[in-house]
Structure 1
Amino acid sequence: MNLKCLIVDDEPIAQNIVKGFVEDTPNLEVFEVCDNAMEALKVLQEHTVDILFLDIEMPKITGLGFLKTLDHPPATIITTAYREFALEGYELNVVDYLLKPFSFERFLKAINKVGSSKRTDDHDAKIASKSYEYFKVDRKNVRVNYNEILYIEGLSNYVKIHLPDKDLVVYHKLADLETLLPCDQFVRIHKSYIVALDKITAYGSDYIEIIDEQLSIGNTYKNNFFALLSERDEKNN
């Protein structure tokens, strides 16, 4: 069975782009396309869908406002031109946050995060969350396992990925990695840092420590960071 996708966006061009990407992806199908949240609500009340592609800026109620009203939302991928809502989106446990215009490759990375699996008539249609990523370093692609990353430091158009035994300098923007990495394993704490939650050895009101490194927590990111820590503590107790 294919994964059923609901597309919610008030811009026809944006609708068609996501619709085309879904149709070009094996094991996905477009179930419905809605112009606003109220149309989407009616669909979700009457049907079950697997993936919700949700725009933010829409009439009457925003995408994030709509998402807050759902008790058991489908796996949700935000599609928007507004970067500033990313933190709020992840607080609502969205699977991924796609900034318009996004490529088909970036779309597929979001789908890989869904981690849902269905069985078709001929084969398993499993879409598994990745545990690694390949990064281009010099002239080769280097595999980096997510569980090896300590933290990532932003350096303008480059990032430095800090691993236990080495550092990798990669041509990437920190904001792009923020949406690429699993949001339950990594969190942005500063305009210059993304850290692995399970590598934090100590923290204070305005800093965290990873091994011997002390990194500042930016004021913009404090609320989200401490909310994630509290959520993880509750799950582990």
Structure 2
Amino acid sequence: MRNYRAIILDDQQSSIDHLMEHFQKLEQVRVEAEFTDPYRALAYVRVNPVDLVILDVDLQNRIDGLEWMSAFTGKHTKFILYTGYRQFEDDGYMRNVVDVLLKPVSYQRFATAMKRLDTEIRLSMPGNPAQDPDDHANEYLNIRKDGKWNRRLVWFREITHIRSSNGYLLIHLATDPEVLISNASFRSVMEMLPKRKFKQFSRSMAFNVRFFHSFTSGKVRLKHVSEELPAGNLANHASFREFLETNSV
């Protein structure tokens, strides 16, 4: 089985935790993110490529799992429904999902679904796993300014780094000395940014790899940023650690 990226969407954290116990026994599929909010999940997959979405049908929200699938625009992503209601099996298979798992799923049944995932991806994309989309150079954030409908558009490609400070999110740009301030949480904005391009390196900071210069003595240096930024423990930031190790010579 190849290595695949997955997210889980379920309104019950206990159901997510149950699946995560199974995923810990399976190295080939890595859960990149988990969500109880379907709209945050949609924002995440808009900019982060995933191979698999495991989602509940009854999300106790304005949108259910089947509607969420219809709102999803990815071309190569596979779906597995995880539900407590057997009546959703027909709807799921009519939408060509890989599998429908009934709660609480056993590890043996879960492993069978993962093998089906591997088979479907191999058949649909011979020799080529799900691709990353373009580099998101044209993606953006709309930062709220003073006034209900005042907005400042910021392209991802212009952001050098973001940081959380005193309950606010600070957005630093390469193209403007002004530091933009948002009431959004660090976590919610990280879910909107492409993980391939933005690496979290401390509890409250992440940088755009486009502006990375060096990492020395526990500090990150970025182009167009005068100060060195203190990094957290590398053991707690696997994506940043992998970035440093990739193509190392």
Shorter-chain TM-score: what band? 0.5 to 0.7
The answer for the alignment partner of 1:151 in structure 2 is 161
Contact 1:150/1:162 (<8 A) preserved? yes
Counterpart of 1:109 in structure 2 is 43
* TM-fit CA distance, 1:187: 1.1
Distance 1:226 1:168, change over 3 A: same
Cα distance 1:149–1:210, how it changes in 2: closer, same or farther (>3 A)?
same
Bigger relative contact order, structure 1 or 2, given CA contacts below 8 A and separation 6+? 2
- Separation in 2, partners of 1:7, 1:229: 24
Query: Contact (CA 8 Å) 2:213, 2:222: kept in 1 or not?
Result: yes
Q: Which amino acid aligns with 2:169?
A: V
1-side partners of 2:217 and 2:239: how far apart?
A: 13
What is the aligned partner in structure 2 of residue 200 from structure 1?
Answer: 212
Give the Cα–Cα distance (whole angstroms) in 1 for the partners of residues 215 and 166 of structure 2: 26
Shift in Å, 1:196: 1.0
The answer to which structure has the higher strand fraction is 1
Q: CA deviation at 1:66?
A: 5.2
User: What secondary structure, in the 3-state scheme, does the structure 2 residue paired with 1:172 have?
Assistant: coil
2:188 matched residue in structure 1:
176
Runs of 4+ deviating beyond 6 Å: 6-9
Q: How much has 1:185 moved relative to structure 2? A: 0.6
- Are the counterparts in 2 of residues 152 and 195 from structure 1 also a CA contact under 8 Å? yes
- Amino acid paired to 1:108: L
- Percent identity reads 19
Residue 54 of structure 2 corresponds to which residue in structure 1?
none
Give the superposed CA RMSD.
3.4
Q: Distance in 2 between matches of 1:217 and 1:7?
A: 26
Query: Please, what TM-score do these two structures have when normalized by structure 1?
Result: 0.53
Code of the aligned partner of 1:132: Y
**Number of aligned residues:** 154
Query: Cα–Cα, structure 1 residues 8 and 149, in superposed 2: closer, same or farther, change >3 Å?
Result: closer
Q: Which residue of 2 aligns with 1:142?
A: 152
Give the partner amino acid of 1:65.
Q
Give the distance between the partners of 1:117 and 1:148, measured in 2 at CA: 27
Verify the 8 A CA contact 1:188 1:221 in the aligned structure 2. no
Provide the C-alpha distance between the structure 2 equivalents of 1:64 and 1:217, rounded to a whole number of angstroms. Answer: 29
Superposed displacement of residue 157, structure 1 = 2.5
